[in-house]
């Protein structure tokens, strides 16, 4: 269900047969459908599923455990809300907005989780103790919401003030300009940070960074920017940029070690080797 732009309660009711074992709704955490759209509320879906005698599963994808709007970020639905609206099983990511290690989490009713635990696939797909330890450490931070934005790296970087990033860009721009040489022009510029393709894919945050362009409009400019981007990625601490509008853009939102960044720039090599 839900493969068209407009989905109504009757679509689910009409689709249920004696062979139906589950009703599932997947949240659009890594894509956006705009225009002539309609979705069914989770509470209404839960009523339809339970009337049919089957569980309702909701896949949230991004896994935000807090109200991001309280931090000035776009809002995402939480597992707690999905359960409160009647979902029997909720799945979401351990990384992305949750900020922990890459993993898949399953929460839900005692009956459904009990069935999942007994299934042979559960043993085959269970996570390692190392991942569990990292996940436990991340979840422990949520016990102290008053310090979460400071201690959880994901949230700390998403809420980083643009002014702070702009000042960082101003400081490192001269070092980058000296390193890339006379063939390129390096400018500090306002940019937009994309929150992520796996969560809030269409949302951006105001940020700052460096825009690197070829000094002249040579036909080889595109290849030179690609070579420069590859050289930056090959540094001991890889520097990841994006090429757009004829420039290499370095968004500095996630740069936290300014000294290490500047210190490794000489390893980029002379411009002629790029």
Q: What is the DSSP code string of the chain?
A: ---SSB--HHHHHHH--TT---EEEE--SS----SS-B---HHHHHHHHHHTT--EEEEEES---S-GGGGTS-----HHHHHHTT-SEEEEESSTTT-S-S-EEEEE-HHHHHHHHHSHHHHHHPPPHHHHHHHHHHHHHTT-GGGHHHH-HHHHHHT--HHHHHHHHHHHHHHHHHHH-TTEEEEEEEEEEE--SSSSTT-EEEEEEEEEEESS--TTHHHHHHHHHHHHHTSSS----EEETTEEEEE-TT---HHHHHHTGGGG--GGG-
With CA atoms as reference, report the closest residue to 161 among 71, 259, 228. 71
| Range of lowest pLDDT (46-55, 64-73, 85-94, 217-226) | 217-226
Q: What is the largest CA-CA distance in the chain?
A: 72
Predicted confidence band at 141 (pLDDT cuts at 50, 70, 90)?
Answer: very high
Mean pLDDT of 71-81: 90
8 Å CB contact between 112 and 133: no
Predicted confidence band at 271 (pLDDT cuts at 50, 70, 90)?
Answer: very low
Structural domains of the chain in order of their starting residue, each with its CATH number: 9-157 (3.40.640.10), 161-273 (3.90.1150.180)
C-alpha dist (Å) from residue 35 to 2, 6, 10, 99, 168: 15, 10, 21, 31, 39
Predicted confidence band at 52 (pLDDT cuts at 50, 70, 90)?
Answer: very high
Q: What is the pLDDT of residue 86?
A: 97
- 């070690």: which residue's tokens? 257
Mean pLDDT of 57-82: 90
Predicted confidence band at 31 (pLDDT cuts at 50, 70, 90)?
Answer: low
Q: What is the pLDDT of residue 61?
A: 85
Highest mean pLDDT: which of 61-65, 101-105, 170-174?
170-174
8 Å CB contact between 239 and 149: no
At residue 198, does pLDDT exceed 80?
A: no
The per-residue pLDDT of the chain, averaged, comes to: 90
Q: What is the pLDDT of residues 219-239, one digit of tens each?
A: 678 899 999 999 999 999 999
Predicted confidence band at 200 (pLDDT cuts at 50, 70, 90)?
Answer: low
Q: What is the pLDDT of residue 38?
A: 82
- N-to-C CA span, the chain: 51
β-sheet bridge partners, residue 250: 210
At residue 1, does pLDDT exceed 70?
A: no
């Amino acid at each position: 269900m839900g493969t068209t732009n407009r989905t109504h309660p009757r679509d689910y009711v009409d689709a249920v047969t004696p062979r139906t074992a589950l009703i599932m709704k997947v949240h659009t955490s890594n894509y956006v459908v705009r225009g002539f759209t309609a979705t069914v509320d989770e509470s209404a879906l839960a009523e339809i599923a339970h009337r049919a005698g089957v569980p309702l599963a909701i896949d949230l994808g991004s896994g935000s455990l807090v109200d991001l709007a309280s931090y000035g970020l776009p809002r995402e639905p939480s597992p707690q809300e999905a359960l409160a609206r009647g979902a029997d099983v909720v799945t979401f990511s351990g990384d992305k907005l949750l900020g922990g290690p890459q993993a898949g989490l399953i929460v839900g009713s005692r009956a459904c989780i009990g069935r999942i635990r007994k299934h042979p696939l559960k043993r085959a797909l269970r996570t390692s103790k190392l991942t569990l330890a990292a996940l436990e450490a991340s979840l422990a931070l949520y016990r102290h919401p008053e310090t979460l934005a400071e201690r959880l790296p994901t949230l700390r970087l998403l809420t980083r003030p643009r002014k702070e990033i702009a000042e960082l860009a101003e400081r490192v721009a001269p070092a980058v300009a000296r390193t890339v040489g006379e063939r390129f022009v390096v400018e500090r510029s306002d940019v937009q940070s994309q929150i992520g393709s796996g969560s809030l894919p269409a949302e951006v945050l105001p940020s700052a960074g460096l825009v690197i362009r070829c000094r002249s409009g040579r036909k080889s400019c595109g290849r030179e920017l690609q070579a420069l981007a590859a050289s930056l990625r090959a540094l001991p601490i890889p520097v990841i940029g994006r090429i757009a509008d004829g420039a290499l853009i370095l968004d500095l939102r996630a740069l936290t070690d300014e000294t290490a960044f500047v210190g490794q720039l000489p390893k980029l090599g002379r411009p002629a080797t790029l």
